[in-house]
A and B are shown apart, each in its own frame.
Chain A
C-alpha cells in the first residue's frame, strides 16, 4: 500500500467569473523514500494538489467533485476536519515557497518551534523523550542543528527578521520535520531563495528523506530541481497529470508532447529563460474547458481521437496521450 495515493482527484474553484475546473483527475502515488517532483507551468494546479493532501484548500471556494486522497489507506477527503488536523505536523508536514511570510514575525523562532513540537508530542508521544517544555526546547535545539543552523541554542531567542532567507527556510524545514512526518509536501521550497542557497536547501531536504524515512512531494516549476533532487516526477498541464514516472525515464525519454516541449525549452545559452519553444497557443480556459485533451490547442500531434480525454496509462512510466511517443520502448 502506497503512503500517499491520489486517485482521480477533481477539484473546482469558484471565482468571480464562474467555477473553474482546476484539477481534472489527478492520479499519483508516493511511497516512503521516494521524492516526487510535481512540475508544470504557473496556474496548472500544483499548489492546489499539494494543499489538498493537507486538506488546506478552503471549501468554499473549493469543491471536490470526485476522487480520493488515500493516506496510509484512509481517504482524507472523507475524514472530518478534526481527524485531518491530527495528521498535520505529525504525519504530513509542509514547507512553503516564501520563508519570509511563512514565519510569524511577532514571535521568537524558539517559541514557534517549541509550540509545534509540543503540539506534535501531544498526538505522537515518541516525538518528545521526557515530555514537557524543557524536552521540547532541547528538541528544538537539536532540530535547528540538524538543519544546519549554527549556535542553535542562542538563535532560538531570535526573531525571524534576524535570519537570512535561506536560514528562515531551514527553520521552516525544522518546524515541518519536528513532528517526524511520514510525508513532506514542499511547495516551491527554493523559488524565493538566492541561487547560491537553493542547492543547499535541496541537499538538506534530500538528506532528511532517509533520516526520517519519509516520502516527499516537491512542487517546482524548475526541471533542473527535479533532475537534481527527485527520484520521480509528475508533469502537470492545466489540471491534468500528463506524464509521470522515474526521473531518469521521464527526463531522458519523454513521451508526451508537452513534456518534450518543456525539455526542449530548458534554457541553453542564447534562448530566453523558460520560453516554451515551438509552443504556440494558450492554456485553455478552465471555467468552460473544451472536452478532450486540454493540451490539444497547442499540440503538434493532435488528431480526431484527441476530443476524448486520454487516460494516464502505463506501469511505471505513465503517459496521458493518444499519440504518446513510444520511440524509446
Chain B
C-alpha cells in the first residue's frame, strides 16, 4: 500500500513536467503583447524593452522555459508581470477560497447524491425514482454559468435571500485564519454570525457547481445499487433473517458506493477546472477568478501556475480515491 502510494507520487513528476511544457507552448503560441499591456498605453518603446528584460521575456522561449523549470525546482512559480507579485504567494492566498467552494459543492453532491441514488434504486420505478430522474436530467443539461446566473436572479435579485456574490463582506472582520476555509475558521473561532455569513455567500456558487456532479453521482449510485441488489448475497442476507434496512443501508450501500467512488474522483477534477467560470460569475476570490483576470491581461505565469495547481490537485484526489477504493473494497490489491 505504501509502495503503491509512493509509486503514484513519483508519477506526478513526469505529468507535472508535461503540463509545464504544454502550458508554455500554448502561452507562446497565442497572439498578444503581454508586456505592452502591462507597461501601459503611454509607455515608450525603451520602457517596454526594459520591462521585457526585467521579466526575461527578451530571451528565446527555451531559455525562458529553462529558467522557469529551474525556478520551479526551488519552489518559485515566476512573477506576475501585471501585479509584479510572486505567483506562488498569490496561489497560496487564493487557493483556500477555491478549495472551500469545491469541497462544499462536492459535499453537497455526495451527501445528497448517494442517498438519493440509493432511494431511487430501492423504490425503482416508483415516484422517488421518477422525481430524481427528471431532476437529474434538468441538472445535467444546464450549463453551470447559466445556472449561476439563474440562481443569482432568483435568490439574490428577486427574493433577496442570499448575497449576489463575493466571499465575505469587506466591511466585516473575517475570522482568524486557521484552515483558510472561512466557514471552518468561523466555527473554530466560535463566531456563529461569521459562520452564517460565510455560508450565505458560499451557498449559491456551491449549488451552481454541485448540481451536475450531484446528478451524475445519483445516477451512478442508482445503477450500481440496482446491480448490487441482484447479487446472490443480497438474497442470502434476506434468507438469513437480516432486517431489510440493515441490508440496504449497510450491506448494499457499501458495495454500491465503491462502484460510485471513481466518478466522485473524476468529478473533483472537473469541479476544479469548472471553478473558473463559476468564480467569475459569483465574484468568488479563488484561483479561477485569478486565472481569468490573468488571461485577460495575457499574464502567463499565473495561468501556468493555476494549471499546475489544478493538475496536482486532480492527481492527488484521484490517488486518494484509489486508496479509499481499496479500503472499501478489500479484494483490491495495490500493485
Residues on A facing B (Cβ under 8 Å)? 54, 56, 85-86, 88-90, 93-94, 96, 98, 101-107, 115-116, 119-120, 123, 159, 161, 172, 175-176, 179
Please, what's the 1-or-0 string for B215-254, where 1 marks a CB less than 8 Å from any CB in chain A? 0000000000000000111011111111110100011001
The answer to whether A115 and B330 touch across the interface, beta carbons within 8 angstroms, is: no
Instruction: Answer yes or no: B329 CB below 8 A from chain A CBs.
Output: yes
Pairs A–B under 8 Å by Cβ, sample size 10? A85-B244, A88-B239, A88-B240, A89-B242, A98-B232, A102-B233, A103-B236, A106-B328, A159-B330, A179-B240
The answer to whether B331 and A159 touch across the interface, beta carbons within 8 angstroms, is: yes
Instruction: Answer yes or no: B258 CB below 8 A from chain A CBs.
Output: yes
The answer to whether A104 and B255 touch across the interface, beta carbons within 8 angstroms, is: yes
CB A250 to nearest CB in B, in angstroms, measures 28
The answer to whether A88 and B238 touch across the interface, beta carbons within 8 angstroms, is: yes
Chain A residue at smallest Cβ distance from B241: A89
CB A210 to nearest CB in B, in angstroms, measures 22
The answer to whether A85 and B232 touch across the interface, beta carbons within 8 angstroms, is: no
For A161, list chain B residues within 8 Å (CB). Answer: 330-331
Interface of B is mostly: helix
The answer to whether A54 and B329 touch across the interface, beta carbons within 8 angstroms, is: no
For B237, list chain A residues within 8 Å (CB). Answer: 104
Which of A96, A105, A120, A159 sits near B236, CB closer than 8 Å? A96
- 310-335 of chain B: CB within 8 A of chain A: 328-331
CB A226 to nearest CB in B, in angstroms, measures 23
Chain A residue at smallest Cβ distance from B235: A56
The answer to whether A106 and B246 touch across the interface, beta carbons within 8 angstroms, is: no
The answer to whether A54 and B233 touch across the interface, beta carbons within 8 angstroms, is: no
Which of B238, B239, B250, B255 sits near A105, CB closer than 8 Å? B255
For B246, list chain A residues within 8 Å (CB). Answer: 115, 119
Do A93 and B255 contact each other (CB < 8 Å), given the known contacts A101-B231, A101-B233, A102-B233? no
For A56, list chain B residues within 8 Å (CB). Answer: 235, 238-239
The answer to whether A115 and B242 touch across the interface, beta carbons within 8 angstroms, is: yes
CB A189 to nearest CB in B, in angstroms, measures 12
How many A-B residue pairs lie within 8 Å, measured between CB atoms?
Answer: 77
CB B221 to nearest CB in A, in angstroms, measures 15
Chain B residue at smallest Cβ distance from A50: B239
For A105, list chain B residues within 8 Å (CB). Answer: 233, 255, 329-331
Q: How far is the CA of A264 from the CA of B237 in the complex (A)?
A: 39
Q: How far is the CA of A104 from the CA of B239 in the complex (A)?
A: 13
Given contact pairs A85-B243, A106-B329, A159-B331, enumerate 15 new A-B contacts (beta carbons under 8 Å): A56-B235, A56-B239, A88-B240, A94-B236, A102-B236, A104-B251, A104-B255, A105-B255, A106-B330, A107-B254, A115-B250, A116-B241, A161-B330, A176-B240, A179-B240
Q: How far is the CA of A86 from the CA of B254 in the complex (A)?
A: 25
The answer to whether A89 and B331 touch across the interface, beta carbons within 8 angstroms, is: no
Chain A residue at smallest Cβ distance from B242: A119
Q: How far is the CA of A101 from the CA of B236 in the complex (A)?
A: 9
CB A223 to nearest CB in B, in angstroms, measures 26
Which of B235, B238, B239, B254 sits near A106, CB closer than 8 Å? B254
Q: How far is the CA of A159 from the CA of B327 in the complex (A)?
A: 12
Do A116 and B330 contact each other (CB < 8 Å), given the known contacts A56-B235, A102-B232, A103-B233? no
Do A120 and B241 contact each other (CB < 8 Å), given the known contacts A105-B331, A106-B329, A159-B331? yes
Q: How far is the CA of A96 from the CA of B231 in the complex (A)?
A: 13
The answer to whether B255 and A179 touch across the interface, beta carbons within 8 angstroms, is: no
The answer to whether B240 and A93 touch across the interface, beta carbons within 8 angstroms, is: yes
CB B331 to nearest CB in A, in angstroms, measures 5
The answer to whether A107 and B251 touch across the interface, beta carbons within 8 angstroms, is: yes
CB A175 to nearest CB in B, in angstroms, measures 5
Which of B236, B241, B242 sits near A172, CB closer than 8 Å? B236
Chain B residue at smallest Cβ distance from A94: B239
For B239, list chain A residues within 8 Å (CB). Answer: 54, 56, 88-89, 93-94, 96, 176
Q: How far is the CA of A261 from the CA of B84 in the complex (A)?
A: 95
Q: How far is the CA of A119 from the CA of B251 in the complex (A)?
A: 14
Chain B residue at smallest Cβ distance from A96: B236
Please, what's the 1-or-0 string for B248-269, where 1 marks a CB less than 8 Å from any CB in chain A? 0011001100100000000000
For A107, list chain B residues within 8 Å (CB). Answer: 251, 254
The answer to whether B241 and A179 touch across the interface, beta carbons within 8 angstroms, is: yes
For A123, list chain B residues within 8 Å (CB). Answer: 241
Q: How far is the CA of A52 from the CA of B222 in the complex (A)?
A: 29
CB B250 to nearest CB in A, in angstroms, measures 8
Q: How far is the CA of A172 from the CA of B238 in the complex (A)?
A: 13
Chain A residue at smallest Cβ distance from B253: A106
Q: How far is the CA of A191 from the CA of B236 in the complex (A)?
A: 17
Please, what's the 1-or-0 string for B91-123, where 1 marks a CB less than 8 Å from any CB in chain A? 000000000000000000000000000000000
For A176, list chain B residues within 8 Å (CB). Answer: 239-240
Q: Please provide the 5 A-B residue pairs with the shortest distance between their CB atoms, ordered closest to farther.
A: A89-B241, A94-B239, A101-B232, A88-B241, A159-B330
The answer to whether A116 and B242 touch across the interface, beta carbons within 8 angstroms, is: yes
CB B327 to nearest CB in A, in angstroms, measures 10
Do A94 and B240 contact each other (CB < 8 Å), given the known contacts A101-B233, A102-B232, A106-B330? yes
The answer to whether A90 and B232 touch across the interface, beta carbons within 8 angstroms, is: no
Q: How far is the CA of A147 from the CA of B123 in the complex (A)?
A: 38
Chain B residue at smallest Cβ distance from A104: B233
Q: How far is the CA of A119 from the CA of B246 in the complex (A)?
A: 10
Interface centre among B240, B244, B330 (most CB of A within 10 A): B240
Interface centre among B232, B250, B251, B258 (most CB of A within 10 A): B232
Which of A94, A96, A106, A159 sits near B258, CB closer than 8 Å? A106
Q: How far is the CA of A159 from the CA of B330 in the complex (A)?
A: 7
Interface centre among A89, A102, A104, A161 (most CB of B within 10 A): A104
Chain B residue at smallest Cβ distance from A162: B330
Q: How far is the CA of A172 from the CA of B236 in the complex (A)?
A: 9
CB A128 to nearest CB in B, in angstroms, measures 14
Q: How far is the CA of A94 from the CA of B238 in the complex (A)?
A: 10
For B251, list chain A residues within 8 Å (CB). Answer: 104, 106-107
Chain B residue at smallest Cβ distance from A105: B331
CB A292 to nearest CB in B, in angstroms, measures 35
For A179, list chain B residues within 8 Å (CB). Answer: 240-241
